[in-house]
């Protein structure tokens, strides 16, 4: 258990350093380059050889890392793990400063994805993402990542004395109730570009250099281990950074030099994947095509490789809730620390079928890792993920899996310490066997 706790604490640190999808990718790059992976720029000529380790990025919010093994690509295919870098929350709108009662400065934000809105209230928040600066080339502006590493914002609740029905359930208005408080001002000159001045100060640039930004709110408090035996992980963004972290560690630590291993971290899964950096775009298909062309292989050989490949679509899964067991299937009831979960859906929101489930179950059995199965109650719709979106672009065999968790899409989610160690072990076996 001590080793499992160390792994969980490494996950918490990874998430704490990844407050937006842009920092997620930066942290992946840092680990990959330490492990000998070489960057391939999409706009430059690629040179690839067997036995090489490479990665490329799209929009600086998606990353594709791969190891070309000694095995024949078209015969053995590719081992692919896919996950996503984004999390539900709040994005800052352009010209965000708003003023109330001539004293309060608020930020104008909009909801990104499907967060549990109430969980974002009354807690310290800050801002992270990327800022776009002027450059000499108008088509290639400068991009800078930013994380304001202090508690900058709070979304205040309305006191119960002014809202007596609050504990009976209320509907939060996204434009009125959920705007974060930034500051109070007394001088007129302070009321212009208040957030922008904070950003410029953080980046050590002048405000007139800033053209635009992609900024997101994030919870300032770091994750922690909880439970009588520190058996649970309480942390933001477990969906889906736990799978990103596990896939990254497995790719780096895989011992077999024969297999052809791919880790694909897409952006914008929480809003449908339909962007240039999302699983619904041809980006991964184009990367595969380019790899084969660079290696001097034909389209016929590429098609053979695709149909010899297997993908694990890795996104978190629902554990049975201790207070709401009636919301779950009466038979399939995954629990925290019970092992990774194979996800099923009759109407194909998940890519799992009997054959792909058997492959994943076989991997788990081979290394003595327990696994569980999940399906929604038949009278509930449930969610979806990126697997079935991605296979509309590249038709590989695929299974949807994830670690069990509670409070999915809350600002702070809950998963199992043992489960994270389990899934890294399975991913390593997938990349190595």
pLDDT of 190 above 60: no
d(CA 112, CA 86): 10
d(CA 65, CA 248): 9
Condensed to tens digits (0 to 9), the pLDDT of residues 120-166 reads 999 999 999 999 999 999 999 999 999 999 999 999 999 999 999 88
d(CA 246, CA 401): 13
Give me the numbers of helices (H) and strands (E) for the chain, helices first please: 10, 20
Residue 18's nearest CA partner among 57, 65, 61 is 61
d(CA 111, CA 155): 13
Condensed to tens digits (0 to 9), the pLDDT of residues 284-336 reads 999 999 999 999 999 999 999 999 999 999 999 999 999 999 999 999 999 99
pLDDT of 25 above 90: yes
Q: What is the pLDDT of residue 189?
A: 44
């Amino acid at each position: 258990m001590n080793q499992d706790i160390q792994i969980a604490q490494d996950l918490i640190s990874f998430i704490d350093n990844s407050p937006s999808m842009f920092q997620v990718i930066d942290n992946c790059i840092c680990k990959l380059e330490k492990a000998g992976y070489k960057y391939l720029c999409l706009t430059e000529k690629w040179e690839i050889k067997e036995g090489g380790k490479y990665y490329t990025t799209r929009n600086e919010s998606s990353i594709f890392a791969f190891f070309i093994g000694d095995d024949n690509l078209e015969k053995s295919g590719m081992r692919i793990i896919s996950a996503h870098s984004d999390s539900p929350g709040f994005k800052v709108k352009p010209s965000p400063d708003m003023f109330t009662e001539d004293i309060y400065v608020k930020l104008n934000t909009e909801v990104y994805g499907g967060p549990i809105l109430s969980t974002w209230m009354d807690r310290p928040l800050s801002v992270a993402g990327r800022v776009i600066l002027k450059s000499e080339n108008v088509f290639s502006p400068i991009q800078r990542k930013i994380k304001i590493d202090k508690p900058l914002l709070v979304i205040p609740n309305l006191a119960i004395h002014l809202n007596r029905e609050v504990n009976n359930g209320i509907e939060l208005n996204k434009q009125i109730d959920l705007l974060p408080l930034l500051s109070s001002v007394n001088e007129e000159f302070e009321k212009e570009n208040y957030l922008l001045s904070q950003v410029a100060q953080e980046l050590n640039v002048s405000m007139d250099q800033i053209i635009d930004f992609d900024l997101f709110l994030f919870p300032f408090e770091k994750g922690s281990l909880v439970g009588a035996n520190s058996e649970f992980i309480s942390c933001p963004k477990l969906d889906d950074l736990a799978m990103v972290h596990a896939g990254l560690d497995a790719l780096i630590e895989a011992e077999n030099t024969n297999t052809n291993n791919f880790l694909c971290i897409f952006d914008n899964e929480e809003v449908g994947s339909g962007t240039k950096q999302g699983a619904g775009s041809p980006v991964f298909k184009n990367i595969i095509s380019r790899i084969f062309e660079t290696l001097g292989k034909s389209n016929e050989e590429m098609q053979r490789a695709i149909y010899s490949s297997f993908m694990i679509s890795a996104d978190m899964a629902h554990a049975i809730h201790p207070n709401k067991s009636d919301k779950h299937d009466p038979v399939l009831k995954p629990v925290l620390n019970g092992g990774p979960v194979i996800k099923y859906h009759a109407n194909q929101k998940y890519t799992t079928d009997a054959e792909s489930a058997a492959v994943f179950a076989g991997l788990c059995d081979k290394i003595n890792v327990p696994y569980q199965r999940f399906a929604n109650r038949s009278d509930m719709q449930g969610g979806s993920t990126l697997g079935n979106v991605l296979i509309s672009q590249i038709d590989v065999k695929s299974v949807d899996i994830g670690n069990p968790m509670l409070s999915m899409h809350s600002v702070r989610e809950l998963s199992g310490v043992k489960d994270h160690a389990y899934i890294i072990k399975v991913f390593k076996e997938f990349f190595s066997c």
